[in-house]
Amino acid sequence: MITIHGMTDSGNCYKPRLLAALLEIPFRHNEVSFLDGGTRDPAFLAKTPNGKVPLLELEDGRTLPESNAILCYLAEGSRFVPADRFARAQMMSWLFFEQYSHEPHVAVRRSLVVYPQLAASATPERMAATLAGGRKALAVMEARLAVAHWLVDDAPTLADIALYAYTHLAPEGGFDLAETPGIARWLARVAALPRHRPLDWTPAG
């Protein structure tokens, strides 16, 4: 059985757990958190020198870091990857957007708010910058979701899984989703997918 090493409260770590639930892929969850130094433990660093979660570990011992790379691996051949070449490229475009334009602002601002260990980094300048950057990223999503049910074509893809993770947590970072009704409707659609599981879910046993 595969193992997903990750931090339960992390949106990036939630992505592969959620996808595995949606696709009914069995896995073990191993809690590893930067908050208690788990990501700097020598045994963990031996698996991934970058010292970050999530990390996928296969049955044969091979490991794969980076949340969106893990999504692509788990979803190969599934309904969450479009068959059409251009739609598949659009999906990838949203995955890059999530890591470069969304996560650095929406996720980071939420982390600065909810984790006391990061309070010293929550300077007024950084909070203002992440708020502005997050609003810009959410506006890009809203432009699409105001007129469409999903980010790519007419069915959920990995783009929706990747961007759902931190977008549904955005209010914890001080973002008002009442300003983006298209996003709010989309969040409800993702949450209604069969076998959807919440952020704090991990498999039993």
Long-range pairs, 31-40, Cβ under 8 A, ≥24: 31/6, 31/7, 31/202, 32/5, 32/6, 32/7, 33/7, 33/9, 34/7, 35/7, 35/115, 35/117
Q: Is residue 17 part of a domain?
A: yes
> Which residues are CB-contacts of 170 (< 8 A; sequence separation ≥ 6)?
106, 110, 134, 138, 177
- Residues 99, 171, single domain; the answer is yes
Q: Which of 12, 41, 75 is the last residue of a domain?
A: 75
| CATH number of domain containing 48 | 3.40.30.10
Q: Which of 52, 75, 98 is the last residue of a domain?
A: 75
The answer to whether 153 and 87 are in contact (CB under 8 A) is yes
Q: Which of 75, 109, 133 is the last residue of a domain?
A: 75
Helix (H) or strand (E) holding 5, with range, is strand 2-6
| CATH number of domain containing 178 | 1.20.1050.10
- Residues 109, 151, single domain; the answer is yes
- Residues 56, 116, single domain; the answer is no
Query: What are the residue ranges in the chain where pLDDT is below 70?
Result: 205
Q: Is residue 138 part of a domain?
A: yes
In sequence order, the β-bridge partners of residue 2 are 27
Asked whether the whole model's pTM tops 0.85, one would answer yes
Report H helices in 8-123. 11-22, 42-47, 67-75, 85-97, 108-114
- Residues 34, 129, single domain; the answer is no
- Residues 57, 16, single domain; the answer is yes
29: DSSP letter: E
Q: Is residue 198 part of a domain?
A: no
Q: Which pLDDT score, from 0 to 100, does residue 188 have?
A: 98
Q: Is residue 13 part of a domain?
A: yes
Helix (H) or strand (E) holding 28, with range, is strand 27-31
- Residues 103, 19, single domain; the answer is no
Q: Which pLDDT score, from 0 to 100, does residue 205 have?
A: 53
- Residues 95, 63, single domain; the answer is no
Q: By CB neighbour count within 10 A (0-12 exposed, 13-18 middle, 19+ buried), where does 119 fall? A: exposed
- Residues 66, 89, single domain; the answer is no
Residue 104: give the domain boundaries: 85-191
Number of structural domains (the chain) is: 2
- Residue 152 to residue 87: CA distance in whole angstroms: 7
pLDDT tens figures, 181-197: 999 999 999 999 999 99
- Residues 65, 103, single domain; the answer is no
- Residues 174, 120, single domain; the answer is yes
Q: Which pLDDT score, from 0 to 100, does residue 139 have?
A: 98
The answer to whether 5 and 44 are in contact (CB under 8 A) is yes
